[in-house]
Chain A
Amino acid sequence: MKIGVIGIGITRFGEIWDRGLRELLLDSQLRALNDAKIVPQQIDAMFTGNMLGDSLSGQVHIGAMATENLNLDKPSIRVEGACASGALALRQGIKAIESGDAEIVMVNGVEKMTDVDTGQVTTALMGAGDEELEGFHGLTFPGLYSLLANAYMHKYPSLTRDILAEVAVKNHFHGARNSYCQFKNEITKETVINSTMVADPLTLFDCSPITDGSATIIIAKEEIAKKMNSEVFITGSGLATDTLSLARRNTLTAIPAGQKAANQAYAQSNITSKDISFAEVHDCFTIAEIMAVEALGFAKEGEAFNLYKNKETYFDSKHPINTSGGLKACGHPVGATGIKQAIEATMQLRGEAKNRQVLNATVGVTHNVGGSGATACVHVFKRLR
């Protein structure tokens, strides 16, 4: 598979009170068109990742909104897979091109989360878990990952509270070097450990924030992308699912769907984890990044702590992880995150990541997870020029 990335556009991530869903979406769409140097009429189809339009804005039908924004009447579909909605939309865009149905596809991810209070956002996000089996008992999204964290740290005591904090410290270090990021401040381990407890053992600084934002990527058939001098191509797209509830999962110390999706995407791209220059992973919570790094094959299960102990996940180190700042520092507008990861991968491979640029980056991987691991979607990006 070779699908070219011909344009990228992203809004600032953060609390953007003066703009709603439509305006956020239009902003990233226009930026991507400008980057691709194409006009709207050249787009054959659109896919838009969005999770919470219904529950937080009273707005569904985001597919039609996306084409209306650009005065188009082309096929357009909203894609939802909880926090993995963005990557799922990208995958649908790829499939539309592979099927021959479209040659140029615009893929958006958009989320508007700061219009309502935290309790309502917490309730809405918990829709990604199992409402009957988990939500009913008062379990929250941070609670799900805390259950994973406690099970993991019980089985693998080498992952200490201090090392978990290093995940957030590193992501803020990267975020401080990213202009579209929500939190551009570096933090210390003590900040993480001493911040307000959300769900034991995860504190506020272990958790990704509530964020508004929109991201757009325009992809095209290989021949068209080559004519347009694209440097970056998507060579693999893996997708796997698992049970909605944690209680029905076979393991609480890994996210198997992530590993399955990664293996599919690696096989399609003829690579192994050793070939990867950098990865954007789904660190909705610090423990999630530990499990992601293991799912992607950078460490065996129970051994990812070494990478953080030895500070090997910084942009200028052996395994750069989340150079965008990750969900933690860059922010997590849920439906937009998967597309943001694709944009960060493209920027790194184009050599446009400025003071967080990974040297000689040739292969990048994005890893987007929905719920507590019920959906995982992995893409491989390569620089081919």
Chain B
Amino acid sequence: MFRESPIIRWRNYSDRYKLSGHKCTKCGANYFEKKGMCVCGNLIFSEMFFSGNGKIVSFTKIHSGPSVFEEQSPYCVAIIDLEEGARITAQIVDCKYDELKIGLGVEAVFRKLYKSGEKGIIHYGTKFRLKL
């Protein structure tokens, strides 16, 4: 279904691959994915790039994933405060779940997200790991 569509993700390659974001030209707020209207009411955004550095705000370990993620289970997902001010959701990899704590520093890494269906289109994107 939609998770097997190459196009639905292609639109977001810039966000997913380069961690690009959108800066409000009026108040300077940064968004990971474009928001229709900034909280300040402005509609104009300029492109910016996140450094990939951030901190864990909350995290969990998913033991029972949706269909396309089933073979990866269990895996860790967190909400991360990026240092430029946006908050995003992403997987945390290369660590033991017990090592995760709210407030710990993380950095972005480029990884495979999932392979969808029989046609096997592979979706890539950003995950995070604990800062070394």
A118 in the interface (beta carbon within 8 A): yes
Minimum CB–CB distance for B100 against chain A, Å: 9
- B76-91 residues with Cβ-Cβ distance < 8 A to A are 77-79, 87-91
A35 in the interface (beta carbon within 8 A): no
Q: Which residues of A contact B32 (CB under 8 A)?
A: 133, 247
Minimum CB–CB distance for A245 against chain B, Å: 7
CB 8 Å contact bits of A133-153 with B (1 = contact, 0 = none) = 111111110110011111100
- Other-chain residue from A131, A150, A201 in contact with B102 (beta carbon distance below 8 A): A150
- Other-chain residue from B57, B77, B79, B102 in contact with A138 (beta carbon distance below 8 A): B77
Q: Which residues of B contact A252 (CB under 8 A)?
A: 57-58, 79
Stretch at the interface among A120-128, A228-236, A340-348, A352-360: A120-128
B62 in the interface (beta carbon within 8 A): yes
Interface size on B, residues (CB 8 A): 37
Minimum CB–CB distance for B30 against chain A, Å: 12
A62 to B123, CA, bound (A): 34
A307 to B90, CA, bound (A): 35
B69 in the interface (beta carbon within 8 A): yes
A299 to B51, CA, bound (A): 41
A296 to B57, CA, bound (A): 26
Stretch at the interface among A75-83, A191-199, A262-270, A272-280: A191-199
Minimum CB–CB distance for B40 against chain A, Å: 15
B60 in the interface (beta carbon within 8 A): yes
Q: Which residues of A contact B33 (CB under 8 A)?
A: 132-133
Contact A196 B89, CB 8 Å, known A138-B77, A154-B102? no
- Other-chain residue from B64, B66, B75, B87 in contact with A198 (beta carbon distance below 8 A): B64
- Whether B65 and A122, one on each chain, are in contact in the complex, defined by CB atoms closer than 8 angstroms, is yes
- Whether B114 and A138, one on each chain, are in contact in the complex, defined by CB atoms closer than 8 angstroms, is yes
- Whether B88 and A133, one on each chain, are in contact in the complex, defined by CB atoms closer than 8 angstroms, is yes
Minimum CB–CB distance for B13 against chain A, Å: 12
A89 to B72, CA, bound (A): 38
Q: Which residues of A contact B114 (CB under 8 A)?
A: 138
A246 to B78, CA, bound (A): 11
**Residue of B9, B77, B90, B91 contacting most chain A CB atoms (<10 Å):** B77
Q: Which residues of B contact A140 (CB under 8 A)?
A: 62, 64-66
- A179-204 residues with Cβ-Cβ distance < 8 A to B are 196-201
B59 in the interface (beta carbon within 8 A): yes
Minimum CB–CB distance for B110 against chain A, Å: 14
- Other-chain residue from A123, A148, A154 in contact with B67 (beta carbon distance below 8 A): A123
Contact A200 B97, CB 8 Å, known A138-B66, A245-B89? yes
- Whether A139 and B77, one on each chain, are in contact in the complex, defined by CB atoms closer than 8 angstroms, is yes
Q: Which residues of A contact B26 (CB under 8 A)?
A: none
Interface size on A, residues (CB 8 A): 36
- Whether B58 and A248, one on each chain, are in contact in the complex, defined by CB atoms closer than 8 angstroms, is no
CB 8 Å contact bits of B93-132 with A (1 = contact, 0 = none) = 0000100001000000000011000000001010000000
B18 in the interface (beta carbon within 8 A): no
A200 to B60, CA, bound (A): 5
Residue of A nearest to B103 (CB): A154
A100 in the interface (beta carbon within 8 A): no
**Residue of A133, A138, A199, A245 contacting most chain B CB atoms (<10 Å):** A138
- Other-chain residue from A119, A139, A198, A201 in contact with B89 (beta carbon distance below 8 A): A139
- Whether A133 and B57, one on each chain, are in contact in the complex, defined by CB atoms closer than 8 angstroms, is no
- Whether A247 and B79, one on each chain, are in contact in the complex, defined by CB atoms closer than 8 angstroms, is yes
Q: Which residues of A contact B65 (CB under 8 A)?
A: 119, 122, 138, 140
Q: Which residues of A contact B78 (CB under 8 A)?
A: 147
A196 to B114, CA, bound (A): 25
Contact A199 B89, CB 8 Å, known A131-B2, A138-B114? no
Minimum CB–CB distance for A246 against chain B, Å: 6
Minimum CB–CB distance for A298 against chain B, Å: 25
- Whether B77 and A147, one on each chain, are in contact in the complex, defined by CB atoms closer than 8 angstroms, is yes
What would 18 more interface pairs be, CB under 8 Å, given A139-B62, A200-B97, A247-B79? A120-B67, A122-B64, A126-B66, A133-B33, A136-B9, A136-B113, A137-B90, A138-B65, A139-B89, A140-B62, A140-B66, A143-B77, A151-B102, A197-B61, A199-B60, A199-B62, A252-B57, A252-B58
Q: Could you pull out 11 A-B pairs where Cβ atoms are within 8 angstroms?
A: A119-B66, A133-B88, A138-B77, A138-B114, A147-B59, A147-B79, A151-B58, A154-B102, A199-B62, A247-B88, A252-B58
Among all A-B residue pairs, the 3 with the closest Cβ atoms: A146-B60, A119-B67, A151-B58
Chain B positions within 8 Å of A, measured between CB atoms, are 2-3, 9, 12, 32-33, 35, 57-70, 72, 75, 77-79, 87-91, 97, 102, 113-114, 123, 125
